Amino acid sequence: MRRLLRLVPPGTLAVGAGLAVLGLASYVHLAVAGHSLSEADYSSLSVLWSIVFTLGIGVFLPVEQEIARVVAARRTQGQPPGPVLARGAALAGGTLALMAVVVLAVYRPLADGLFAGDGAMVWTLLGSLAAMAIAYSTRGVLSGLQLFPWYGGQLAVDGGLRIALVAALGLAGVTSPLWYGAVLVIAPLGGVLLTLPPVLRAVGGGTPVAWSALVRGLGLLTVSSLLSQVVVNIGVINVRLLDPDDVATAGALLSALVLVRVPLFVFASLQASLLPGLATSAATGDLPGFHNLLRRALGIVTALGVLGGLGAVALGPWLVGVLFDASDVLGFGDFAWLSAATLAYLWAMVLGQALLALNRHRGQALGWTVGVAALVAVTLVPVSVALRVELAYTVGSVVVAATMALLLRGSARPAPTPTRPLDDAVATGVSGGTR
């Protein structure tokens, strides 16, 4: 553990603090909404939440990572990040426009099937995705320039605003899911606005950036990122699709998932040091060091997953009622499946970092693809809706981890990767998917 702490890049503690505030905000947001909204309205908010973070993190986190990678490389040459931000913003904007076209094309079926006919929630979805596109683009610049206190500050402001806004909504007695969804639009934009000065000061001009420099690894990164979010978030959406009338289970499942994912927030901070450490060992051909760090990381997340799972199984059915006012539809067995799935998901995240350190992006994408295929297959099994989405999350995560483990066993030893500078790994490793 001490070695991992020594590998932490400067400012990562600030990022961890920002992640902690943002994580707390997720609990407060859903807790206040759970006590303020009806079951049907909380179910609609749960589906909105799941879609926003599946698509937002899945699509725009890779854009942040590629912006950070190119900005970090230019920084070593004394080049300002302006051209990178311009290209990155255009890329994020183009992706957002494409997503908007698709969403608007299925506007009415989307509103009727997922939001009980409330078309305003579809517009809130688009607004939330737009806010995330802007936030992740600016975070890429902050990460690439190693302005980690500002990076963590943006996360903290985002989380702080969420807490303040939902507290105000709760105290005012607001009972519309639209306003609780709108917080996902306002808070990220507020975080961007208050941390924009260092980005603007650093922009400048400099040598134009070729599109190829920014998008060379974006496709595989996006596939992996998007599919990883599908595995962890699709359950709530599937409940609504499989049984539209079961509004209680959709809301309760999101509340349960928020509880069992506490170890994932801890891993987000560990991830900042894990990828650079693995990449260093891989680049130097240090096979014992690579495997030792990988084993230790797996041991840490296993301990986190087991401890978190025991707490979730013991207290989860009671906590979702107390904290989120969720219906009493999930029992100890449900939390056991969800906790097991989260543990396997943590293994998959660590093993995926190892594949990235070996420059095996295709292997990571393959692992998530096979896992999602398994998830879909299990979702079609004719059992109760809650059980099938829990089993799908568990089986999908286990298959991802097993596939990645097999791919890593096929690597005789880490090969030097001179075409991928360590600065690249550091930049992408610090950035993390947050809620």
pLDDT at 425: 44
What are the tens digits of pLDDT across the range 253-265? Answer: 989 998 998 888 7
pLDDT confidence tier of residue 16, bands split at 50, 70 and 90 = confident
Encoded tokens for 380 = 């079609």
The SS3 call for residue 225 is helix
Q: Under a CB-based contact definition with an 8 Å cutoff, are residues 5 and 270 in contact?
A: no
Q: pTM of the prediction? A: 0.85
Count CA atoms within 13 Å of residue 424 on its CB side: 18
pLDDT at 5: 47
Q: Give yes or no for residue 228 having a pLDDT over 70.
A: yes
Q: Give yes or no for residue 421 having a pLDDT over 50.
A: no
pLDDT at 10: 52
pLDDT confidence tier of residue 435, bands split at 50, 70 and 90 = low
Side chain identity at residue 193, one-letter code: L
Q: Under a CB-based contact definition with an 8 Å cutoff, are residues 53 and 233 in contact?
A: yes
pLDDT confidence tier of residue 185, bands split at 50, 70 and 90 = very high
Interacting residues of 314 by C-beta distance below 8 A, sequence separation 6+: 332
pLDDT at 44: 93
Q: Please classify residue 154 by burial: count the beta carbons closer than 10 Å to its beta carbon, then call 0-12 exposed, 13-18 middle and 19+ buried.
A: buried
Q: Under a CB-based contact definition with an 8 Å cutoff, are residues 217 and 91 in contact?
A: no
Interacting residues of 168 by C-beta distance below 8 A, sequence separation 6+: none
pLDDT at 35: 93
For residue 122, give the nearest of 130, 111, 109, 133 by alpha carbon: 111
pLDDT confidence tier of residue 234, bands split at 50, 70 and 90 = very high
pLDDT confidence tier of residue 427, bands split at 50, 70 and 90 = very low
Question: Could you give phi then psi for residue 137, rounded to 5 degrees?
Answer: -65, -45
pLDDT at 11: 57
Q: Give CA–CA dist 310/323, Å, rounded.
A: 18
What are the tens digits of pLDDT across the range 76-105? Answer: 777 888 888 888 999 999 999 999 999 999
Q: Give CA–CA dist 345/371, Å, rounded.
A: 10
pLDDT at 272: 60
What are the tens digits of pLDDT across the range 294-307? Answer: 999 999 999 999 99
pLDDT at 357: 83
Percent of the chain with pLDDT strictly greater than 70 = 90
pLDDT confidence tier of residue 7, bands split at 50, 70 and 90 = very low
Tokens 């961007």 label which residue?
192
Encoded tokens for 191 = 């975080």
Q: Give yes or no for residue 1 having a pLDDT over 50.
A: no
Q: Give yes or no for residue 206 having a pLDDT over 80.
A: no
pLDDT at 248: 87
Mean pLDDT of 172-176: 95
Q: Give CA–CA dist 141/336, Å, rounded.
A: 40
Q: Give yes or no for residue 4 having a pLDDT over 60.
A: no
The DSSP code sequence of 407-421 is HHHT-SSPPP-TTS-
Mean pLDDT of 276-300: 84
Count CA atoms within 13 Å of residue 370 on its CB side: 17
The SS3 call for residue 338 is helix
What are the tens digits of pLDDT across the range 374-384? Answer: 999 999 998 88
Q: Give CA–CA dist 55/129, Å, rounded.
A: 8
Which helix H or strand E contains 288, and what residues bound it? Answer: helix 287-324
Rg of the chain over CA atoms, in angstroms?
A: 21
The CA-to-CA distance between both ends of the chain, in Å, stands at: 26
Q: Give CA–CA dist 101/248, Å, rounded.
A: 31
Q: Give yes or no for residue 166 having a pLDDT over 50.
A: yes
Q: Give yes or no for residue 290 having a pLDDT over 70.
A: yes
Side chain identity at residue 70, one-letter code: V
Cα distances (angstroms) measured from residue 244 to each of 112, 113, 248: 10, 7, 10
pLDDT confidence tier of residue 245, bands split at 50, 70 and 90 = confident
Mean pLDDT of 209-235: 86
pLDDT at 423: 44
Biggest alpha carbon distance in the chain?
Answer: 61
175-184, 325-334, 411-420: lowest mean pLDDT where? 411-420
pLDDT at 269: 67
